[in-house]
Amino acid sequence: DAGVIQSPRHEVTEMGQEVTLRCKPISGHDYLFWYRQTMMRGLELLIYFNNNVPIDDSGMPEDRFSAKMPNASFSTLKIQPSEPRDSAVYFCASSPGTTIYFGEGSWLTVV
Amino acid sequence: SQQGEEDPQALSIQEGENATMNCSYKTSINNLQWYRQNSGRGLVHLILIRSNEREKHSGRLRVTLDTSKKSSSLLITASRAADTASYFCATDSPNAGGTSYGKLTFGQGTILTVHP
């Protein structure tokens, strides 16, 4: 298996623009997670899905963030409008129920 | 506040020495896991220890768990320069039914630097 695949790997965008991050989890994994990592706040869980259903979105910073999982092999995290404080590494991860497998991350810079 | 908090925040050692990192947590757990993150990369799972286990080994890694103190330690023996990375503990806490929520809560990590 190729592992968790994220795109884009790097994105630089201007404040106010919409950003869409994409994720393909490992086939057969029931759980999908979106994490954000910054120096100041460490690794934060934004939202996670079980069998494509959002279970806990309490970590989503505000209404500008939304996440969808239309099927078992695809998820998106959208930020609209983006702000400089959203600059971070966004990780998608999937799990069969115990160990979590991370993608390589999407490095987002909002200028 | 973080469920898992690592100590020290940073550790610098020479190749061949042992590295010990500690993790404390606040609530009951089903299991505790350790992950490694190389610079610019995603986290990679290293080892899992269940709440009813006290010690576990994997290669040069040794993990201990003390549920009475709500703490765990990760020992890397005979460290190598390639072990340079950040190390995170993560806890899986039970839901009301005692089973897993499926999510992990990560600590802030320990940055390990191994000098050749």
Task: Output the pLDDT for position B99.
Answer: 66
Q: Which residues in chain B land under pLDDT 70?
A: 1-4, 96-101
- Predicted confidence at residue A1, as pLDDT, reads 62
Per-residue confidence of chain A (111 residues) as pLDDT tens digits? 689 999 999 999 999 999 999 999 999 999 999 999 999 888 999 999 999 999 999 999 889 999 999 999 999 999 999 999 999 999 999 999 889 999 999 999 999
In this prediction, residue B100 carries a pLDDT of 67
User: What's residue A2's pLDDT?
Assistant: 82
User: Between B33, B41, B42, which is nearest A99 by CB?
Assistant: B33
B-chain residue closest to A88, CA distance:
B40
Q: How far is B16 from chain A (nearest CA, A)?
A: 29
Tokens 């899986």 locate to B92
Residues of chain B with Cβ-Cβ distance to A30 below 8 Å are 102
- Within 8 A of A25 by CB-CB distance, chain B residues are none
Peptide bond into A8 cis (omega under 30): yes
Cα B84 to Cα B100: distance, rounded to the nearest angstrom? 31
Alpha carbon A4 to its chain centroid, in Å, reads: 11
